[in-house]
Chains A and B, each alone.
Chain A
């Protein structure tokens, strides 16, 4: 009787698979809310390991990026941290880059090597970002043990890095004025948009981990505006990617919906946790998780090459297990910090 009330399929997915994607989306959302990056670069490899063809994995991942970025942009819009003019100017470059990236994927698919090439690109990308995060966490620990008098009284969120000022000093027309009054060449803006779009279209990632630093270091805005505008850029890349792959009919709406249900909740919890948890406490775990994810995708590729399904299962367990562990670390540190700060009268939240 009860069994007949349980749906056998939700948007084309079995309940177990739908639940798995909700949980995975929740973890990705916690990373997004806490670290300010979509974590969507974990979604495509997970779908590849689960056996989805590369165009389905990338198209669904990009559509998920669109939904997540829409939610995040709504939050940052309320805080006035989105430079819509800059975002709109980047749109042309992003569109061309995504088109080129998706053509590469479909071309490789015709040759029958899309999954291998995308998989190898992921192994390298995840390893590189993992090493960057781990090194930055270790360097921060060293700095913390050194001098504590680095605070010069300036708000780092308002600073434009020196390299960006140097790039802005080369006036290559046409020039445009950004929302904060600084000026940038349209060539720089289009170049950043095109490069990020290419990465997005080829790998099915939002590209926030490339776009945000590129806006901050190359175009030259404040950090807060770089984060907000990068999210708006993610919304546009996601929309263009969803349109490109949607036209080919390869987006799995069930996967996208399940991931969004989890990530929208996870992002709220992750973003609340930033008020309590010191990011440096968990950054090293995030870096190590990316290194494990890189190994997991590599093992997944080996599994297909050697025709050993057991390696596929190992690969999936490593990817989900490492993400689950880091998510648990963030939530555990968050719960401890809430107890410390709210449980003790007179204590304050981080940053207050």
Chain B
């Protein structure tokens, strides 16, 4: 999947901008998503590691 399918028929520049937009959205979603996971389970994971259980 090259990203050109996102806006088939659009000019190459618009298709390239669409790819950048999709990757930026993915990056923000991953930053927020993993941040929430870290907040929720990070401390518990470190405690388990520390106690060797």
Contact = CB atoms under 8 A, between A and B. Distances in A.
A268 B31 CA distance: 9
Interface in A221-252: 239, 242-252
Given A67-B26, A246-B19, A260-B23, A338 B3 contact: no
Contacts of A341: 50
B49 A338 contact: yes
B25 to A, nearest CB: 10
A342 B50 contact: yes
A343 B46 CA distance: 10
A256 interface: yes
Contacts, number: 99
Contact of A335 (B19, B34, B49): B49
Contact of B27 (A249, A260, A338): A260
B27 A343 contact: no
Contact of B3 (A244, A249, A268, A343): A249
Contact of A246 (B3, B27, B50): B3
Given A66-B23, A71-B27, A264-B34, A339 B49 contact: yes
A70 interface: yes
Nearest to B35: A268
A300 B17 CA distance: 33
Contacts of A246: 3, 12, 15-17, 19-20
Given A252-B2, A265-B34, A342-B46, A247 B27 contact: no
Contacts of A261: 30
Name the residue in A74, A75, A249 with the highest tally of chain B Cβ atoms < 10 Å from its Cβ. Answer: A249
A249 B26 contact: no
B31 A250 contact: no
Contacts of A66: 20, 23-24, 27
A115 interface: no
A295 B16 CA distance: 34
A93 to B, nearest CB: 20
Closest 4 pairs between A and B when the two form their complex, measured CB to CB: A246-B16, A12-B1, A342-B50, A264-B30
29 contacts: A12-B1, A63-B19, A63-B20, A66-B23, A67-B23, A67-B27, A70-B24, A70-B31, A242-B19, A246-B3, A247-B16, A249-B12, A251-B3, A257-B26, A260-B27, A261-B30, A264-B27, A265-B30, A268-B35, A268-B38, A272-B42, A335-B49, A338-B46, A338-B50, A339-B50, A342-B46, A342-B47, A342-B49, A343-B52
Given A251-B19, A268-B34, 15 more contacts: A12-B1, A63-B19, A71-B30, A245-B16, A247-B12, A247-B15, A249-B2, A249-B15, A253-B19, A253-B23, A264-B30, A264-B34, A265-B30, A272-B42, A343-B51
Interface of B: 1-4, 12-13, 15-17, 19-20, 22-24, 26-28, 30-31, 34-35, 38, 42, 46-47, 49-52
